[in-house]
Amino acid sequence: MTIRVTVWGENVHEQKNRAVAEIYPATMHGTIAAALNQAGGISAGTVTLQDAEHGLTPAKLAATDVLIWWGHAAHGEVKDEIAERPFKRLMGAPCNLSWREAGERERLWVTSRQHPIARGLPDHFEIEHEEMYGEPFGVPEPLETVFVSWFQGGEVFRSGLTWRRGAGNIFYFRPGHETYPTYHQPVVQQVIANAVRWAHNPEARLTDPNAAPNRPVGQTLEPVVERGPRLHHDGEAGLR
């Protein structure tokens, strides 16, 4: 089964910043998608902020198994009715952190032995030039901590974290500042391909993820005799 991936990119810095454009002549989202298309079993395409509906039409989402979201400068330009800062929205938390842009060394350590997202990786790997993100990282406790980063300037960061929301698996991956060639690094491409395979849920999609069905008295699994006052009629739609 081929996993269908959509890579969403802001596509702002690639167009406006010469340094970024030189590092990523094919854009960051394009570079990520190209690497995924080489990984095997994955078919990846791209959409951007500038596309109609930011590229996230119902038809596109229906044909997407795993969505990769690259956001940085233009979070505020994403229309709420399309996708309201999806990571913060899924976390229900500020997701804040400290940061520094100095091209310093980052070293990621695997913290969950033999995790599918760490498949084929050594126990640590380095990115020679990266932006620093520092703890505390304002996210909910994760299901799993897969990577923790060491930074040259003295900070640490939980750089690979997993959560589940509904039937969906979420992986947060820290690296990828636009002024450094991070997405050209094979080990980073490997992490992203691993994460796509891990996140993919082959089960049939839920028809209505918000369904809140009434189970009326006449159809209970065990006998129930209705008692007391009530607010709703049988089969009525639930309050949401």
Q: Of 135-154, which residues contact a copy of itself (CB under 8 A)?
A: 135-138, 140-141, 143-145, 148-154
Tell me the CA distances in angstroms from 12 to 20, 34, 48, 188, one per residue in order. Answer: 10, 19, 9, 22
- Residues with Cβ < 8 Å from 151, sequence gap 6 or more? 104, 105, 106, 130, 132, 134, 157
Of residues 5-24, those binding a copy of itself (CB under 8 A): 13, 17, 19
Rounded CA separation 155/134 (Å): 5
Residue 235 and residue 240: Cα distance in Å, rounded? 15
Number of shown-chain residues binding a copy of itself (CB under 8 A): 91
By CB under 8 A, residue 62 contacts a copy of itself: no
Q: Which is nearer to a copy of itself, 45 or 187 (CB)?
A: 187
- Residue 120, phi then psi, degrees to nearest 5: 75, 5
Q: Which stretch binds a copy of itself (CB under 8 A): 1-9, 48-56, 60-68, 132-140?
A: 132-140
Q: Exposed, middle or buried by CB within 10 Å (0-12, 13-18, 19+), for 159?
A: buried
Tell me: does residue 227 bind a copy of itself (CB under 8 A). Answer: yes
For a copy of itself, give the closer residue by CB, 52 or 108: 108
Map the footprint of a copy of itself across residues 146-205, applying CB under 8 A. Answer: 148-156, 158, 163-167, 178-180, 201, 203-204
- Residue 189: in which H helix or E strand, if any? helix 186-199
Site residues for a copy of itself, window 71-110 (CB under 8 A)?
72-73, 75-76, 89-94, 96-104, 107, 109-110
Smallest gap from Cβ 191 to a copy of itself, in A, equals 15
Region binding a copy of itself by CB under 8 A among candidate stretches 36-44, 54-62, 118-126, 182-190: 118-126
Taking the C-alpha atoms of residue 174 and residue 182, their distance in angstroms, rounded to an integer, is: 11
| R_g of the chain computed on alpha carbons | 21
The answer to the question of residue 224 lying near a copy of itself (CB under 8 A) is yes
Determine, following the binding rule CB under 8 A, whether residue 235 of this chain makes contact with a copy of itself.
Answer: no
Smallest separation, CB 30 to a copy of itself (Å): 20
